[in-house]
Structure 1
Amino acid sequence: MSLAPGVVLNSQFVMPGSKEYSEFVGYIDRDASKIKAELSFEGDVFAEDAEFSMGFASYLDYAGDEKKQGSLFTKDADILDKQGQKQLKQSFELAQQNGSPMWQDVVSFDNAWLQRFNMMDADTGQVDEVKMRSVIRDAVTEMLRAEDMADTAVWTASIHYNTDNIHVHIATVEPIPTRPLKYMKEKEKVFNAETGKHEYQPTGRWSLQRKAGRKPKSIKEMKAKVANTIANRDKEFELIDQLIKGARKKKEKQDIDFANYRKTKKLFQQALQRLPKNTTKPHWQQIGYNDQTMNQARPHIDKIVDIFIERFYKDEMNELHQRLDEEVEVMKTKYGDGSKAQNYKANQLAKLKAAMGNTVLKELRAHQKEQRSKTYVKSQNTPLRHRFERASDLHRALNQLNYRLRKTYQDYQKDRNIEEFDRMLDGYER
């Protein structure tokens, strides 16, 4: 069964010469009990098969039934009094006179989705309008920031209950336009009998107009802001982040040595042998687990990580999978089955594997450095021993020479003393 998104955003713009623009400006300060205005939207629909999707056949309906529609609100005001309505109308009139486009957005909600996140009372169907106004303000601010109109735009919005699903209408203008002027083909809205819809068709005329298109990214960020503000998952994301970081902390706490641990020491040596050959600084220190040069060693590192998780982090990993699955389901309710919600889980698991992979790599570097240090000491010790042996030989030779010299001197003294004694005897005999 296809899961429809919890939020649908439909967007368009109308130019200052259009009927829709003039009608909207005229309705701003009218008595709500006397107003009923239709604005047709033409454009892409995010979820055409969703039951609650209004498409672009939406209504800016200020009907007299107050149960079906909310009051206009703005960036700063929750409810506009007569003076506030007058000032707002003047801003829209000035924008129209100066050639500003009017950007129109309709945010539609799945009521069950709103109820899930405590934005709507299931029994009464009443929306928490205080929170909803805050959500819309944040979303419009996000869009205007992305479009560089945060300081120049004026906007108003209204919450509507007049369809099966809650929706919010938003209208935005620039009283002093900042968009560049360019010549564009004029279009007019005509009714297509075959499709039963109004369509914009070229008139063949060209005119100088303000560039009105908004970036798709701006619309996307606006919608995401609505969904993420209502379905706030900051606490859940924090728990997931803690579980991802917890694997590395568990390894440090357990003081596990992969080089000597029975189940990983063989894999450790295999990874060590397949590390990149260029390990000179700073290049070696910059290489991470996901670096292309780690392709040969990475499979062995992955096996080490898998063994660690299975042996020391199994319960935490099961909890992580459970929480990630829950987030995937929440994301599907935000954006629908066609979204990339499933990628979120894969990305988070890859994040954990990379973090643990870098932890293993750090230990591999330390082990490699220790091995090289031992090799260096060994290479230095061999010549030192040889030098010591040569010094010992020299010392023995010097001792022998000294002995011989001393003996020769003693012999010389002895011979000399004998000669002196002989001469003394010769003199005595005479």
Structure 2
Amino acid sequence: MQKVGVIAKVRWDSPNTRSNSYTQNIEYITRGLDEHEKQEVLEWNEILDKIKNDSSNEQGFSRYLDYIERQEVEINIDNKNSFKTRKSSVLATDNGFNTKSGKEGLFDFYNDVISSSQRNFYNRKFDEVYKNGGLLWKPIVSFDNEWLKEHGVLVNNIIDEEKLKDTARKMMTSLLKERQMENKIYWVAQLHYDTDNIHFHVAMVEKNPTNVMDMSEEEEKDHGFFSQKSINQMKSTCVRELTDRSKEKQQIHDVARKRILGVAKETQFKEDYLEVFQQLSEKLSTYHYKNLKPHEKKWINTLSYAILQNHFPSEYQHFIELTSNEQEFYRRAYGDRSREMFKDYSQNCEKDLLQRLGNTLLKQIKEYKNSNHALNDKSSIRLSDELFKSLVYKEDSLQSIKQKERENTRSFSYSVSQENPVPNRLDDNLYNRSQTSSPYTLNQLNYHINKLKRVLERDVNKALREYEKLLYQQEIQKEGEYDSGR
């Protein structure tokens, strides 16, 4: 069984002396991490406890920066409870990897490697937070190396560390925005290569720390705890930045919007379902899918399933395969513990398809009602279950087909066919006509407009990030010790 692609955790430390404030959630915090990474978390807990008991003037959160940056370093605390630890190097070149740029070390919001003067600035700020009773948050994001290989981040033991660093920056930007902590945090990070999973640690403190020294344990937890929503946002940002699913999303769009809905809009289904059209034209209370009553939606969905099965069998099967594969991609990336992020993906895609196809059918039924072909004797019309049962093999057969296809994709294989076959049952002229008809052209135009919007939005966000970097640089330069390195 393959490992989860991305694991994210956030824990915190405080200057408080109560021991359980650091270990109470250790099982939750370390779940999913490998044994080496779990040991790191536990070891830092022990180091911090020793630091808090140290009577020297060297105590503070800056010790954590030494820990995550270590290059064969020793951490010594010489007092009656002396504690000594030696950790191996975390650098890529010391652990069988190379990096594209060759830049290794602590990095921050806009520097790939911080200078010694910048490091001194952070040391001072982190220790000031410690003395003022603030918290040190310690996010960690860990990647399955095979997953990084699948998406071109790790190739022939060469890691694209620039991409990982940029991902960390974007993750922190979205995380702080979600937490309403924008422009209120100092943070630095470091990539680690000394475990089976390449990962990065982040150290972050408040610029104007909230003093937790007089807080109760529950009050400190309320201030320090990161919700599952925040954790999920960290993971989704990393997955979005490190992978490109545009090709797969385009395939789903093409099958649903062009090969099914595009053709359906050019097809007169009343010729095959005249009796159903007759009855529905008089029984429906509205002709917009979202406004239908539950039992009316069931009628339309049953008709939609019949049309998908009888008119678009290969396209519908391909649609199920594509959406199931995409759902499995998310399951591979996020893991079953975060199944709420993806469990309904395929089902939601199908609901969207049914809604759009349903509106196409409702439009045709309404047109039929307004024509001279509608039945005159409205009182004799009765919509029966037997009528719908005669449309298809039964909805159960469709559900079994869908379930079988989804089960076939549970092998974590994400290769998707590049073929785009025209179904044999459709007339070639009708299919080709749909490719040049006005509805199809509008759908295509709308897609490209939305794609352009996304490109523009990324450019605007990039410009805003650069602006934020400049503001951040100006702000911390006012502190007098920070050299921008530019």
Shorter-chain TM range is 0.5 to 0.7
* Distance across 1 between alignment mates of 2:215 and 2:250: 49
Q: Which amino acid aligns with 2:269?
A: F
* Distance across 1 between alignment mates of 2:29 and 2:222: 27
Q: Do structure 1's residue 354 and structure 2's residue 359 form an aligned pair? A: no
1:233-382 equivalence runs, <5 A: 233-246=245-258, 247-252=260-265, 255-259=266-270, 261=271, 263-276=272-285, 284=286, 288-291=288-291, 293=293, 295-338=294-337, 339-340=339-340, 341-370=342-371
Q: Which amino acid aligns with 2:316?
A: M
Q: Which amino acid aligns with 1:184?
A: M
Q: Do structure 1's residue 185 and structure 2's residue 193 form an aligned pair? A: no
* Distance across 1 between alignment mates of 2:304 and 2:127: 65
Please tell me whether the aligned partners of residues 45 and 55 of structure 1 are also in contact (alpha carbons under 8 angstroms): no
1:266-306 per-position Cα deviation (integer Å, ceiling 9, x unaligned): 22223223212xxxxxxx4xx6324452x343344234323
1:22-37 equivalence runs, <5 A: none
List gaps (5 residues or longer) in structure 1. Answer: 21-38, 188-206, 277-283, 376-430
1:303-328 per-position Cα deviation (integer Å, ceiling 9, x unaligned): 43234333443333233222222212
Q: Which amino acid aligns with 1:108?
A: S
Tell me the equivalent position of 2:402.
Answer: none
Q: Which amino acid aligns with 1:148?
A: Q
Tell me the equivalent position of 2:458.
Answer: none
Give the TM-score normalised by the residue count of structure 2. Answer: 0.58
Say which SS state the counterpart of residue 100 (structure 1) adopts.
coil
Q: Do structure 1's residue 141 and structure 2's residue 173 form an aligned pair? A: yes
RMSD: 3.4
Q: Which amino acid aligns with 1:7?
A: V
* Distance across 1 between alignment mates of 2:212 and 2:371: 68
Q: What is the Cα deviation at residue 49 of structure 1?
A: 6.2
Say which SS state the counterpart of residue 134 (structure 2) adopts.
coil
Q: What is the Cα deviation at residue 332 of structure 1?
A: 1.7
Question: Comparing both chains, which one has the higher relative contact order based on Cα–Cα distances under 8 Å and sequence gaps of 6 or more?
Answer: 2
Distance 1:52 1:16, change over 3 A: closer
Aligned length: 320
List gaps (5 residues or longer) in structure 2. Answer: 45-66, 73-88, 96-103, 377-486
Give the TM-score normalised by the residue count of structure 1. Answer: 0.65
Q: Do structure 1's residue 54 and structure 2's residue 41 form an aligned pair? A: no
* Distance across 1 between alignment mates of 2:224 and 2:302: 55
Distance 1:239 1:88, change over 3 A: same
Q: Which amino acid aligns with 2:366?
A: R
Say which SS state the counterpart of residue 150 (structure 1) adopts.
coil
Distance 1:53 1:46, change over 3 A: farther
Q: What is the Cα deviation at residue 158 of structure 1?
A: 0.3
1:1-20 equivalence runs, <5 A: 1=1, 3-17=2-16
Please tell me whether the aligned partners of residues 167 and 241 of structure 2 are also in contact (alpha carbons under 8 angstroms): yes
Distance 1:213 1:223, change over 3 A: same
Please point out which of 205, 209, 227 is paired with 2:239: 227
Please point out which of 205, 208, 211 is paired with 1:176: 208
* Distance across 1 between alignment mates of 2:143 and 2:152: 13
Q: What is the Cα deviation at residue 154 of structure 1?
A: 1.1
Q: Do structure 1's residue 163 and structure 2's residue 175 form an aligned pair? A: no
Bigger radius of gyration among the two: 1
Q: Which amino acid aligns with 1:320?
A: F
Q: Which amino acid aligns with 1:313?
A: F
Q: Which amino acid aligns with 1:275?
A: L
Q: Which amino acid aligns with 2:123?
A: K
Distance 1:41 1:113, change over 3 A: farther
* Distance across 2 between alignment mates of 1:118 and 1:41: 38
Distance 1:334 1:97, change over 3 A: same
Q: Which amino acid aligns with 2:332?
A: T
Distance 1:52 1:141, change over 3 A: farther
Say which SS state the counterpart of residue 12 (structure 1) adopts.
strand
* Distance across 1 between alignment mates of 2:12 and 2:116: 27
